[in-house]
Each structure stands twice: as C-alpha cells, then as structure tokens.
C-alpha cells in the first residue's frame, strides 16, 4: 500500500522521536477550518508532522471528529489518511471558528489565513511573508469549496497566497498546506536556530542546525 509506513521497533521509534525534537517549530499551529474530506484532514496532519508543526487545530462544525485526541488516534480513517501521523501530532477540535480564535488569542497566538484570493487588509505572496515576527503563530486553511471564512480573515493579521500560474484558481487543501507550511517552518527553524525561545532572551552563541544529517534522516 502506497501510504503504509513500515513497522519500526520501539527503540528505533524512541531514537527518532529524540532526534526530531530540536527541529520542531515551537508555538506553531496549523488550523483547518471546516474541512470535509478525510483525506485532506489526514494529509494536513501528515504534512504538519513531517514539517515539524507543533499542533493541528480543526474547526469541525459538522462534529465529524471526536473531541478527545486519544479517540482521534484510534480512529482508523484518520490513522490511515495521516499514515499514523495523528499518533504523533496533537490534534484539537473546535465547534466553530470563533471558539478556535478565542482559544488561540487567549493563549497569545496571532493568526494568518491562506487563500488564493485577496482577502482582508494585508495580502502577501508566500515568499514575501515574514513568519517569525510573532512568537505564537496560527496558520489557517479554509474549506475545500468555500475557502476561508470572513470571521477568520477579520481576526487575522494577513492573508498569504501561493502564486498561481495555471488555469485552475486554487490548489487542493492538503497540497497548499504542504507548500505553505514548508516555507513557514523553514523560516521559523532558521529563527529558532539563532535566537532563544522569545526575542528578548537573545541570540544563541552558536546557531543550532536547521536540518538533520542525511544519515539521521534514515533512522
């Protein structure tokens, strides 16, 4: 099966978990707003895990998912579509957009939305944005048909677009999450490698590595 991961020993899993810790982007959350397709949900969780995003939040007004992460981890459809990434990346569900934004803002997170279209006050192409200015950042992805909601746009700092060059107006939700989160995590890993957790804690004397040695990749 294309998506199956080979069984690994407990020892190998533990070593890998230790090796990746330093590369995880702290205080970075990917939010999916009202996703419908379980394959897209699984793909976003897989991308978040692979790229080192700390958490995934899902706005789930249809109540398609369980509240409890442990139950999500046991749900076959999520485990299958995320290739078990749901076991390793914390996922939290919310009943609606405002509930999720209230939670994020209470914790000090700033949101940015993504859309192929111009939305809200500030619009940037992916490569133009600086994703390191806020210690806590939430990156929002919209519904497959309707895109991102006005409520999310209104309470976000900016709207990020992946430049499009074809006849199709948008990318698939899962695909766009991979492209956007690659750039955001790359920038934040570089930043984390140079600075301590928050800006006022200052620069590290030696930058930390931003990629794993090729040999460690295969563990």
Ligand X SMILES: C[S@@+](CC[C@H](N)C(=O)[O-])C[C@H]1O[C@@H](n2cnc3c(N)ncnc32)[C@H](O)[C@@H]1O
Which residues of this protein are in contact with ligand X, per CB under 6 A?
114-117, 141-142, 144, 147-148, 161-162, 164, 170-173, 176
Between 164 and 211, CB nearer to ligand X: 164
Pick the closer one to ligand X by CB: 73 or 93: 93
Give me the least distance between CB of 2 and ligand X, in Å please: 23
Category of 129 on φ-ψ map: left (φ > 0), alpha (ψ -120 to 50) or beta: beta
| Least Å from the CB of residue 33 to ligand X | 8
Minimum CB–partner distance for residue 179 and ligand X (Å): 8
> 175 vs 210, which CB is nearer to ligand X?
175
Closest distance between ligand X and the C-beta of residue 178, in Å?
Answer: 11
Q: Which of 34, 48, 40 is nearest to 93 (CA)?
A: 34
Strand order in the sheet with 25-33: 90-94, 53-59, 25-33, 137-141, 110-114, 159-161, 123-125
Query: C-beta of 100: minimal distance to ligand X in Å?
Result: 15
* Contact between 126 and 161 (Cβ < 8 Å): yes
Nearer to ligand X, 72 or 152 (CB): 152
Is 127:187 a contact under the CB 8 Å cutoff?
A: no
Nearer to ligand X, 50 or 162 (CB): 162
> Least CB distance from residue 47 to ligand X, whole Å?
12
Nearer to ligand X, 117 or 196 (CB): 117
């Amino acid at each position: 099966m294309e998506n199956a991961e080979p069984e690994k020993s407990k020892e190998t899993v533990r070593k890998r978990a230790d090796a990746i810790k330093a590369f995880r982007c702290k205080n970075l959350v990917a939010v999916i707003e009202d996703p419908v397709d379980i394959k897209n949900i699984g793909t976003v969780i897989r991308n978040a895990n692979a790229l080192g995003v700390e958490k995934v939040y899902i706005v789930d007004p249809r109540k398609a998912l369980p509240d409890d992460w442990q139950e999500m981890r046991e749900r076959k459809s999520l485990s299958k579509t995320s290739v078990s990434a749901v076991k390793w990346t914390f996922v939290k569900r919310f009943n609606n957009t405002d509930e999720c934004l209230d939670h994020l803002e209470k914790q000090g997170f700033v949101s940015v939305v993504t859309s192929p279209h111009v939305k809200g006050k500030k619009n940037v192409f992916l490569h133009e944005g600086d994703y390191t200015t806020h210690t806590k950042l939430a990156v929002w992805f919209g519904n497959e048909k309707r895109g991102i909601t006005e409520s999310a746009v209104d309470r976000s700092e900016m709207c990020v677009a992946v430049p499009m060059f074809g006849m199709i107006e948008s990318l698939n939700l899962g695909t766009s999450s991979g492209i956007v989160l690659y750039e955001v995590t790359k920038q934040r890993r570089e930043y984390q490698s140079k600075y301590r957790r928050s800006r006022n804690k200052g620069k590290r004397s030696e930058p930390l590595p931003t990629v794993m040695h090729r040999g460690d990749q295969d563990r």
